[in-house]
Structures are given as C-alpha cells and as structure tokens.
C-alpha cells in the first residue's frame, strides 16, 4: 500500500509487458525497474518513494546503481506499492497476490492448441487426481519449479498449489518455452547463455523443493525433460566457467532424479541417474554431489549397508563448508547407528547439531533446502526411539511435531508419528501407540511416498504378535497399504 495515505501511482498495464521490464524483474534489478517507471509512466522519484516507502534519496541511489535490493520483504513492499500484477510479481520471484490476501480469482486461462485450459494449468489435478502427467503438465511443472526456485519464503504444498493457481497463460508464456530460450542461448551472447544457466539453476532448486510436497510420479517426467535440456546445453560449447556451473546443476538434478526413480520403483533408471551424477560431479569439480547421491541411496537400504552408504557419502565432503550436507549425513549416521544399538549414535547427534548450527540450508545446495529444525528434531527422535530413551522420545517428538505444518508436511508427519508410535508401543502405551500409528499411516497414504511407508516398519514390528483387536486392525491396514503401494503403477 502507498505510504502516508498518498494516491497510488498509476502504471500503464503494458509497461509490465515490455521486454526491458521483464528483464529488470527477472534480474531483480530494482534500479532498472524504477528508471523504467519514471521513463514510461512519468512518475517522479519522490512519488515512487512515497508509494514504496523509500526516501527520494534512496530511490535515486537505486536508480544510479549505488544500492541494490536483496531482502524479500523489500521486494514485497515494492511490488505492493507499485500495484504490480501477478505475472510481474512472479518474474520478480514473489508469490502472486492470491497468496497475500487478495481473494479475486486469477484471470481465466484460454485454451491452447484446442486443449482445455483446465488440463493445461491444473497442478491440483496432477498432484491429487488420478490423471497421469502429460506433456502440457510437464511444462507447467517446469515453469512452477522455476518460480519456486526463486522464492525465498517457506515452501509447502498449499503454497505450491496457490502458486499454480496464479499461473495464467500470459505469465506462463513469459516464463516457459524452454526450448525457445535454449535456442537463443546457443546462438546468442554470453549474457544470454548466463541467463539460461541461471534459470536452469533456479529450476533445479525448485524441483528439489517441490519433491517435498508433490508425489514422485508427478515430478518424474518434468524432471527428465529438465535433464534433457541440461544435456543439450552442456554439448553446446559453453565457456568453461558456465559449463562447470551447468554440470553442477545437472548433478543436482540427477541425484533428485535417481531418488524419484527409486520412489516409483524404477531401479535401473535410478542407477542410470546415479552414473550421470557421478560424471557431473567430476566434470564440475564438485565431489559433494556424490555425497548427496550416496545419502539418498542410504534410504533405500537398511542396517550395515545403509551405514556404508552414509560413510561413503562423508568421504566426498570438503574439509570445510557444506555444513548442511554434513549435518544431514551425521544425523543419518546417528539414526542407523542407533538402529544397530550403537551408543556412538549420541556422539553423531551432537556433531550433527554443531554442524547444523553453522549451516545455511537455504543457500548451500539445491538438495539441502529440506533440512530445517523440524527435520533435525525428527532425526533426533528416530535415534532416541532406536536407543530406547523414552524421555527423549517424548521431548523430541513434541519438538518435531511443533515444527511441522500439519496440513502440508505429510512425509515428515508420517515419519514423526511412526517413530512416536513405535516408542509408545514398546513401552506398553497401547492406546496412544495405536493412535499415533494411525496418524502415521494416514499421512503416508496421502504422500504416495515409498520412503514414508518405510518409516512404518518400526510400528509394524511393535504391533506384530499383539492380540488387541485395535492393534491387529492397524497392522492389517498397514499391510494392506503396503500391498496397494507395491501394486500401483510406476
């Protein structure tokens, strides 16, 4: 809203569509944006400042390139003050206004090539419906991933769906068309090439973030299309610096593709993506990509083999830095050591906590975006469950649950409730254990995640042999859900 009750600035709608304005928004160049507003809308520095809450002097500094905007809340204030339309907001890396309290629906989406708009831009249907993804939906997932990869705020399933709802055909057209951009990059200037690399980097981050809230089958085809684009550009004779960046991005995408292929029961594809990740790690000079690959692989195994994968992953960590990946691996090692009843797990937990305190998960790697206080509490909870530390289970269980969104974080909720249920059943608290077990099963069923269902193993073990009708009913329900998941199409 404009400051001091002043009249809102009036910016012509077509200004937001100009190529130079789209470039300014994509680059988050607020000085350029202000210059365009002054040039084409005739709005003075003072009025711009009043609208966005800056002094005239500060606006002048931005316009002269003496200062840069970096804070998310400042970008939001500028977008609100200039009454920026949703397509422009998304180019700037902000959520559309449907996320910020504006209740009117987005403009209707016209049909494209005879395909109903509801089939083109309906991620809700892809996420929770029965329709399999098709080429049109893949474009939407890739566009959505690019937007999500640029967002600085929290990413959950509700945010993802609202972002998708804000994708009009007009905004998607300015963001999508990846092959058109690739053609431009391959034949264009180094600036064009750098722009496409940055877009592909942001999209890779977005795909990793979407993995937490979308079923694997909804991401897989879009992710493979993304890797095809990366491969095409890698063979285009880029300068070495850009080629190394792109190779690292390909590695980050490949480790995610390997994990998703495992989730949808495609082991040969998973192994193939692992090989791509290894090549990308070598090409980019970023061995930490291999650390992520082995970390993901540890979830597909149990006991000593899982521990072996984790320790192989740790060998690819640099001597310093990458603290989020380091914390993740130490927490995973604590989990697996505890499962083997090795008290050294407590030492690893302490080391994981220390590494996490120095980590910046939202800035370090595409794959570290998932690591937050709730996930770290969940690792501690799992470790204490396996070690039989009842008091710590109660404390960490509550901490983990408090850190989760109960409407969106279904994968994490499944794991936390499963651990709590297993602990409650082990100490003989049957009623509470069954209640937590049911919550874990319900959350796992909502995710369609193979990993989420794996977290129920402790509950199954604790329920086996119990004669209570409710316990036997829950065990039968878990077994039935497992069969359903195993029989579902990949």
What pLDDT, in 10s, does the model give residues 408-463?
Answer: 567 778 888 888 888 788 778 888 889 988 988 888 887 767 777 887 888 888 88
Please report which confidence band the pLDDT of residue 139 belongs to, taking 50, 70 and 90 as the band edges.
very low
Q: 326 in a domain, yes or no?
A: yes
Indicate whether 395 and 331 sit together in one domain. no
Residues 6+ apart with CB under 8 A from 478: 437, 441, 456, 459, 460, 463
Q: 412 in a domain, yes or no?
A: yes
Residues 6+ apart with CB under 8 A from 259: 211, 270, 296, 299
Residues 6+ apart with CB under 8 A from 342: none
pLDDT at 310: 97
% of the chain exceeding 70 in pLDDT: 77
- Tokens standing for 349? 């937990």
pLDDT at 365: 94
Indicate whether 278 and 153 sit together in one domain. yes
pLDDT at 75: 86
CA distance 22 to 87: 10
- The domain boundary, picked from 267, 283, 299, lies at 283
User: Rounded to whole angstroms, what are the CA distances from 134 to 111, 119, 131?
Assistant: 16, 9, 9
Indicate whether 254 and 294 sit together in one domain. no
CA distance 331 to 329: 5
User: Rounded to whole angstroms, what are the CA distances from 373 to 112, 130, 194, 304, 376?
Assistant: 43, 33, 34, 27, 5
Please report which confidence band the pLDDT of residue 489 belongs to, taking 50, 70 and 90 as the band edges.
very low
Higher pLDDT, 408 or 42: 42
CA distance 3 to 49: 9
Indicate whether 292 and 203 sit together in one domain. no
Indicate whether 399 and 480 sit together in one domain. yes
- The domain boundary, picked from 367, 398, 428, lies at 367
Most confident of 103-112, 317-326, 436-445: 317-326
Q: Is the pLDDT of residue 116 over 80?
A: no
Question: Which of 251, 310, 311, 239 is closest to 277 using CA atoms?
Answer: 251
pLDDT tens figures, 192-220: 778 788 888 988 998 998 888 777 887 88
Higher pLDDT, 360 or 73: 360
pLDDT at 97: 63
Q: Is the pLDDT of residue 283 over 50?
A: yes
Higher pLDDT, 96 or 222: 222
Number of C-beta neighbours around residue 1 at 10 A? 11
Indicate whether 43 and 11 sit together in one domain. yes
Range name among 101-110, 122-131, 168-177 with the lowest pLDDT average: 122-131
Indicate whether 26 and 88 sit together in one domain. yes
Range of the domain at 324: 287-367
Alpha-helix residue ranges (DSSP H) falling in 135-287: 135-150, 157-165, 169-175, 178-187, 190-211, 216-234, 240-263, 267-284
CA distance 223 to 205: 12
Mean pLDDT computed over 361-378: 88
How far does the chain reach from its first CA to its final CA, in angstroms? 48
Higher pLDDT, 177 or 324: 324
Question: Which of 318, 326, 295 is closest to 308 using CA atoms?
Answer: 295
CA distance 1 to 10: 13
Cβ-in-10-Å burial (0-12, 13-18, 19+) of 91 comes to buried
pLDDT at 455: 79
Q: Is the pLDDT of residue 105 over 50?
A: no
Higher pLDDT, 449 or 81: 81
State pTM to two decimals.
0.65
Indicate whether 252 and 330 sit together in one domain. no
Indicate whether 179 and 49 sit together in one domain. no
| Helix and strand element counts for the chain (H, E) | 28, 0
pLDDT tens figures, 238-250: 788 888 999 999 9
Please report which confidence band the pLDDT of residue 340 belongs to, taking 50, 70 and 90 as the band edges.
very high
- The domain boundary, picked from 265, 283, 301, lies at 283
Q: 99 in a domain, yes or no?
A: no
% of the chain exceeding 90 in pLDDT: 28
Indicate whether 171 and 248 sit together in one domain. yes
Range name among 133-142, 216-225, 291-300, 347-356 with the lowest pLDDT average: 133-142
Range name among 149-153, 300-304, 364-368 with the lowest pLDDT average: 149-153
Total domain count for the chain? 4
pLDDT tens figures, 177-193: 444 454 554 555 666 77
Secondary structure element (H or E) that encloses residue 376, with its range:
helix 373-387
Please report which confidence band the pLDDT of residue 481 belongs to, taking 50, 70 and 90 as the band edges.
confident
């Amino acid at each position: 809203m404009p400051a001091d009750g002043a009249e809102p600035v009036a910016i012509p709608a077509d200004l937001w569509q100009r190529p130079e304005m789209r470039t300014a928004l994509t680059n988050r160049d607020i000085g350029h944006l202000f210059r365009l507003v002054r040039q084409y809308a005739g709005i003075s520095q003072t009025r711009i400042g009043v609208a966005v809450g800056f002094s005239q002097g500060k606006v002048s500094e931005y316009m002269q390139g003496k200062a840069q905007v970096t804070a998310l809340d400042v970008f939001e204030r500028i977008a609100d003050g200039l009454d920026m339309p949703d397509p422009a907001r998304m180019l700037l890396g902000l959520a559309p206004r449907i996320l910020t309290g504006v209740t009117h629906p987005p403009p209707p989406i016209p049909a494209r090539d005879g395909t109903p708009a509801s089939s083109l831009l309906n991620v809700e249907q892809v996420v929770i419906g029965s329709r399999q993804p098709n080429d049109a939906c893949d474009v939407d997932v890739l566009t959505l991933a690019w937007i999500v990869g640029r967002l600085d705020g929290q990413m959950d399933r509700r945010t993802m769906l609202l972002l998708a709802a804000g994708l009009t055909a007009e905004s998607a057209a300015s963001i999508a068309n990846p092959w058109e951009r690739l053609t431009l990059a391959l034949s264009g200037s180094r600036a064009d090439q750098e722009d496409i690399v940055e877009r592909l980097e942001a999209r890779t981050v977005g795909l990793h973030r979407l993995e937490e809230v979308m079923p694997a089958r909804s991401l897989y085809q879009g992710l493979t299309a993304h890797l095809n684009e990366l491969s095409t550009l890698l063979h285009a004779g880029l300068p070495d610096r850009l080629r190394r960046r792109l190779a690292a991005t390909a590695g980050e995408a490949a480790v995610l593709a390997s994990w998703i292929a495992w989730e949808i029961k495609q082991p040969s594809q998973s192994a193939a993506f692992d090989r791509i990740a290894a090549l990308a790690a070598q090409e980019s000079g970023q061995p930490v990509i291999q650390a992520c690959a082995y970390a993901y692989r540890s979830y597909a195994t149990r006991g000593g083999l899982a521990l072996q994968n984790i320790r192989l992953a740790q060998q690819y960590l640099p001597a310093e830095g990458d603290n989020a990946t380091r914390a993740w691996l130490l927490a995973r090692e604590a989990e697996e050591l505890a499962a083997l009843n090795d008290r050294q797990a407590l030492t690893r937990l302490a080391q994981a906590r220390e590494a996490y305190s120095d980590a910046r998960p939202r800035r370090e790697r595409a794959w570290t975006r998932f690591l937050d206080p709730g996930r770290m509490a969940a690792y501690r909870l799992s470790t204490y469950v396996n070690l039989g530390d009842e008091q710590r289970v109660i404390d960490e269980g509550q901490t983990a649950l408090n850190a989760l969104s109960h409407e969106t974080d279904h994968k994490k909720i499944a794991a936390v409730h499963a651990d709590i249920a297993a602990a409650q059943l082990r100490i003989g608290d049957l009623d509470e254990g069954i209640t937590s077990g049911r919550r874990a099963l319900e959350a796992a069923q909502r995710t369609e995640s193979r990993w989420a269902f794996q977290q129920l193993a402790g509950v199954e073990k604790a329920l086996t042999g119990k004669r209570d009708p409710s316990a036997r009913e829950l065990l039968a329900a878990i077994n039935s859900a497992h069969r359903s998941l195993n029989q579902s199409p990949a």
